A and B are shown apart, each in its own frame.
Chain A
């Protein structure tokens, strides 16, 4: 148990009024040190450093269109990193989050096309399937008490196989058929994959969704009962249960939230590219988890924020696109990520040790 991370950021206490009795042994640490001790501040500085680095190393990054592109890449990671981070604060993992995105997209594409229905039918069916997968993951974890690492490793493998096999069975191919001519397509594309113009720069709508979801997640985490319960079930689930927190509900709903994120990104991919490759998504779950960890979420649960993973995802998006703009071989991307993950974790650890030393 580490006392160096704060479970609860950003809530400033009202100063105790009047000449109340005080303990008086608390020596105020300098403001700067206290700020630095917050993991989300650390990741903000990290993201800023990476940004400045690419501003210098890759001049094209300085253009507005490049920035929009970088933010777009970040948003597709960030939208999933949010529920993955909440789940991590709640003390669990979901290794199936990457392939679940593809499962959702495949479900919508094939149901719509094969039954020649309106695409919205497929979209809703995909939502139901995604939530059901999340529910099953959570229910198995809660009922068996096994580590979620094992349970979701199982569902990861199952979904990966099902994605390939069912797609082959239904379409006779490794990808789904193009749905761009179907009823409701342009409507759905507006919601999940459109762009709008900001001063001559095309901005993807996922960026807006990403920031909206991040704001909601932050509010829920810090200002609602449910947020309180997320910290509690991740921090100590037996204690949480003993004081009346609905542990099973909280954990299962967090897994379902990951399902919702997978559905949203799945729909984005489907309506961006009109078809889905059944073999994709493998390895993405680690990107989401890394973004959450870089964002200051405690791997063992009980501490973290929703704003940290936003910067974590931005770092990833920045590196991913920055390498291209700098004209380097994109094969370096993963190596870069690994270095960043290690660096962020070490710096966080060091800063917190220094700043919270008692």
Chain B
């Protein structure tokens, strides 16, 4: 997946876009967001193109969630421009983003704990049947669809009627991801989707990201794990203290450089050195986040 993508997308960093084909579905130009007097985001450029995975990386509090909340319609930007299909927009509700085919897995998952799993899956986009005064939920179809989508993710639930609050954190996350994958027609935004997941489910999520790209969706993938990012990403943006520190195509950066950027370069080098002394680790093979926590 590396060489081909890098070649096709290598040349589109300029502002002059061709009229068709590669025009970004979603684009931020010099965008920023202030919460009162806290400037959470400033001067950020980002483009999401069909069939391309844009990874957003950065420390805790760097502004990643703020960035995607602008795109998903939860917050509004206070500076710069936000374009969908080349047209400037100001989403006031997430409904507007969803109607444009932009679906999001939020970091806090956005589920209603007391409601059954299947109702959560379809919340806000319920399937109905029947003419107006008697239009009602198509419960059977919704349950069936939810069950299928969850099984595809490797999640098997005995009872879709149980309140989602009784599921484990990772199971809840899978429901949120399956939901976004199901409803994201054009752009899929994932805010740290693998944070609470097991190895198998993380793998499934990465596969989903790759599959979404094959289907021609634009994907924004937020993660702390550069290995995960590098496995599926076509473009990498690193945020630091609310500004874009790095924005690079896959062809322009190696995994090691990316990891260095994320960890603040020299600090990680020092850490690596220490670790190699303690454990005799192979310094060339960079430990990823999971290895570090495993210590």
Q: Which residues of A contact B (CB under 8 A)?
A: 1, 3, 5-8, 11, 13-14, 16, 21-26, 219, 223-225, 228-229, 231-232, 235-236, 238-246, 298, 302-303, 358
Question: In the assembled complex, which residues on chain A have CB atoms less than 8 Å from the CB atom of B126?
Answer: 225, 228
Question: In the assembled complex, which residues on chain B have CB atoms less than 8 Å from the CB atom of A24?
Answer: 158
The minimal Cβ–Cβ distance linking A302 to chain B, given in whole angstroms, is: 5
Contact A3 B112 (CB under 8 A): no
Question: In the assembled complex, which residues on chain A have CB atoms less than 8 Å from the CB atom of B108?
Answer: 239
Residue of A nearest to B180 (CB): A243
Chain A to chain B contacts (Cβ below 8 Å), 19 pairs: A1-B165, A6-B163, A7-B112, A7-B114, A8-B116, A21-B151, A24-B158, A224-B128, A224-B135, A225-B137, A231-B112, A240-B124, A241-B74, A242-B94, A242-B104, A243-B94, A243-B98, A243-B179, A244-B93
Task: Report if A241-B158 is in contact (Cβ < 8 Å); known contacts: A235-B115, A236-B112.
Answer: no
Contact B124 A3 (CB under 8 A): no
Complex Cα distance, B124 from A244, in Å, reads 5
Contact B95 A246 (CB under 8 A): yes
Complex Cα distance, B94 from A240, in Å, reads 10
Interface membership of B140, Cβ < 8 A: yes
Contact B158 A5 (CB under 8 A): no
Residue of B nearest to A225 (CB): B126
Question: In the assembled complex, which residues on chain A have CB atoms less than 8 Å from the CB atom of B122?
Answer: 228
Question: In the assembled complex, which residues on chain A have CB atoms less than 8 Å from the CB atom of B165?
Answer: 1, 3
- Considering only CB atoms and an 8 Å cut-off, how many residues of chain B contact the other chain? 42
Interface membership of B195, Cβ < 8 A: no
Question: In the assembled complex, which residues on chain A have CB atoms less than 8 Å from the CB atom of B140?
Answer: 14
Interface membership of B161, Cβ < 8 A: yes
Cβ-closest 7 pairs across A and B: A244-B124, A7-B114, A235-B112, A242-B110, A243-B124, A239-B110, A26-B158
Question: In the assembled complex, which residues on chain B have CB atoms less than 8 Å from the CB atom of A245?
Answer: 123-124
Contact of B115 among A23, A225, A232 (CB under 8 A): A232
Contact of A223 among B74, B136, B143 (CB under 8 A): B136
Task: Report if A235-B114 is in contact (Cβ < 8 Å); known contacts: A3-B166, A242-B106, A244-B93.
Answer: yes
Interface membership of B13, Cβ < 8 A: no
Interface membership of B159, Cβ < 8 A: yes
Interface membership of B152, Cβ < 8 A: no
Contact B128 A225 (CB under 8 A): yes
Contact B143 A1 (CB under 8 A): no
Interface membership of B113, Cβ < 8 A: yes
Question: In the assembled complex, which residues on chain A have CB atoms less than 8 Å from the CB atom of B161?
Answer: 8, 11, 13
Complex Cα distance, B74 from A358, in Å, reads 36
Interface membership of B160, Cβ < 8 A: yes
Question: In the assembled complex, which residues on chain B have CB atoms less than 8 Å from the CB atom of A22?
Answer: 156, 158
The minimal Cβ–Cβ distance linking A307 to chain B, given in whole angstroms, is: 18
Task: Report if A21-B112 is in contact (Cβ < 8 Å); known contacts: A223-B137, A224-B136.
Answer: no
Complex Cα distance, B221 from A113, in Å, reads 67
Residue of B nearest to A236 (CB): B112
Question: In the assembled complex, which residues on chain B have CB atoms less than 8 Å from the CB atom of A229?
Answer: 124
Interface membership of B157, Cβ < 8 A: yes
Question: In the assembled complex, which residues on chain B have CB atoms less than 8 Å from the CB atom of A1?
Answer: 113-114, 165
Contact A244 B114 (CB under 8 A): no
Question: In the assembled complex, which residues on chain B have CB atoms less than 8 Å from the CB atom of A25?
Answer: 158
Question: In the assembled complex, which residues on chain B have CB atoms less than 8 Å from the CB atom of A225?
Answer: 126, 128, 135, 137
Complex Cα distance, B116 from A25, in Å, reads 18
Interface membership of B281, Cβ < 8 A: no
Residue of B nearest to A26 (CB): B158
Interface membership of B197, Cβ < 8 A: no
Task: Report if A243-B136 is in contact (Cβ < 8 Å); known contacts: A26-B158, A231-B115.
Answer: no
Residue of A nearest to B124 (CB): A244
Residue of A nearest to B104 (CB): A242
Contact B156 A23 (CB under 8 A): yes
Most chain A CB inside 10 Å of its own CB: which residue of B72, B106, B126, B157: B126
Most chain A CB inside 10 Å of its own CB: which residue of B113, B114, B147, B157: B114
Interface membership of B139, Cβ < 8 A: yes
The minimal Cβ–Cβ distance linking B180 to chain A, given in whole angstroms, is: 9
Contact of A8 among B95, B110, B119 (CB under 8 A): B119
Interface membership of B185, Cβ < 8 A: no
Question: In the assembled complex, which residues on chain B have CB atoms less than 8 Å from the CB atom of A3?
Answer: 113-114, 163, 165-166
Question: In the assembled complex, which residues on chain B have CB atoms less than 8 Å from the CB atom of A244?
Answer: 93-95, 98, 124-125
Question: In the assembled complex, which residues on chain A have CB atoms less than 8 Å from the CB atom of B113?
Answer: 1, 3, 235-236
Residue of A nearest to B147 (CB): A16
Most chain A CB inside 10 Å of its own CB: which residue of B111, B124, B160: B124
Contact B123 A243 (CB under 8 A): yes
Contact A23 B123 (CB under 8 A): no
Question: In the assembled complex, which residues on chain A have CB atoms less than 8 Å from the CB atom of B115?
Answer: 7-8, 228, 231-232, 235, 302
The minimal Cβ–Cβ distance linking B27 to chain A, given in whole angstroms, is: 22
Complex Cα distance, B158 from A21, in Å, reads 9
Contact A5 B95 (CB under 8 A): no
Question: In the assembled complex, which residues on chain A have CB atoms less than 8 Å from the CB atom of B160?
Answer: 13
Q: Per-position contact with A for B56-75: 1 when CB-CB < 8 Å, else 0?
A: 00000000000000001010
Complex Cα distance, B140 from A242, in Å, reads 25
The minimal Cβ–Cβ distance linking A195 to chain B, given in whole angstroms, is: 30
Complex Cα distance, B151 from A22, in Å, reads 10
Task: Report if A228-B116 is in contact (Cβ < 8 Å); known contacts: A24-B158, A239-B111.
Answer: no
Task: Report if A241-B112 is in contact (Cβ < 8 Å); known contacts: A8-B161, A232-B123.
Answer: no
The minimal Cβ–Cβ distance linking A358 to chain B, given in whole angstroms, is: 8
The minimal Cβ–Cβ distance linking B147 to chain A, given in whole angstroms, is: 8
Complex Cα distance, B163 from A223, in Å, reads 17
> Beyond A223-B137, A231-B115, A232-B124: 14 further Cβ-contacts under 8 Å?
A1-B113, A5-B114, A8-B115, A13-B143, A21-B156, A23-B156, A26-B159, A223-B136, A231-B114, A235-B112, A241-B94, A242-B72, A243-B125, A244-B95
The minimal Cβ–Cβ distance linking B91 to chain A, given in whole angstroms, is: 11
